[in-house]
Amino acid sequence: MLLAKLRPLIVPLETLIADCMDAGLCVQTCLDVGCGTGLFLEEFYRAGIIAAGTGVEISTRYRRTINPDCRVILDSELSPDAQFELVMFNDVLHHVADKPAFLKRYLTHLCPGGWILVKEMNPERFMWRWLNRLHDLVMAHQLIRETTPENLEQLLTGFIRVRHGRRRILWYDHYWSLFRSPANLAAIP
Ligand SMILES: C[S@@+](CC[C@H](N)C(=O)[O-])C[C@H]1O[C@@H](n2cnc3c(N)ncnc32)[C@H](O)[C@@H]1O
């Protein structure tokens, strides 16, 4: 897959990983929603941020065992009882129409006191926004709908944003936000 080979070149993984480590992120279990090939699982595992990970996908083509501790499964195969210390959404939210429902659904798998990582394309600058949209029109045949960092904070009201980073590579203007959940998840609206 050519796209899978190109992706590490346009995603600021090193900076993002360094930022997460600096924030103290280090967990046993991770759920990567819309994980694609499992690039983030692979790199987080290699960096020692996660000890094990499950990626979920709607597409069967990504289904695979990455290593003895990490695998990509179909969304429908995720056990309803599974709990994770980290739930991450990397470039998947902009593909989803009903973002509140999508987040809510997967955050039922988050442990109390757990972490949420969201990496998104930053739509704030017109030119980068439209060049990236063009990319998705060609590659995914979809007009994506990004969410700004401020909207994301509203979507995750009740969670505490502990990190926020941003980096552009070519016309790919990335941002990421790392959140921590309160010990009592019932406090989340
Ligand atoms: C831009 S790719 C990002 C892949 C991966 N997260 C990464 O950053 O390398 C978006 C992925 O989200 C998946 N996806 C889109 N809608 C989804 C949904 N409703 N549930 C799960 N995965 C979804 C797509 O199949 C695709 O693999």
* Model confidence pLDDT, tens digit, residues 64-115: 999 999 999 999 999 999 999 999 999 999 999 999 999 999 999 999 999 9
Return all residues near 26 (Cβ < 8 A) that are at least 6 apart.
48, 49
Are the C-beta atoms of residues 22 and 49 closer than 8 Å to each other?
no
| pTM for the predicted model, two decimal places | 0.97
Domains of the chain: 10-179 (3.40.50.150)
Ligand 1 environment, Cβ below 6 A: 7, 33-36, 39-40, 56-59, 75, 90-92, 95-96
Are the C-beta atoms of residues 134 and 185 closer than 8 Å to each other?
no
3 state SS for 25-66: CCEEEEEEECCCCCHHHHHHHHHCCEEEEEEEECCHHHCEEE
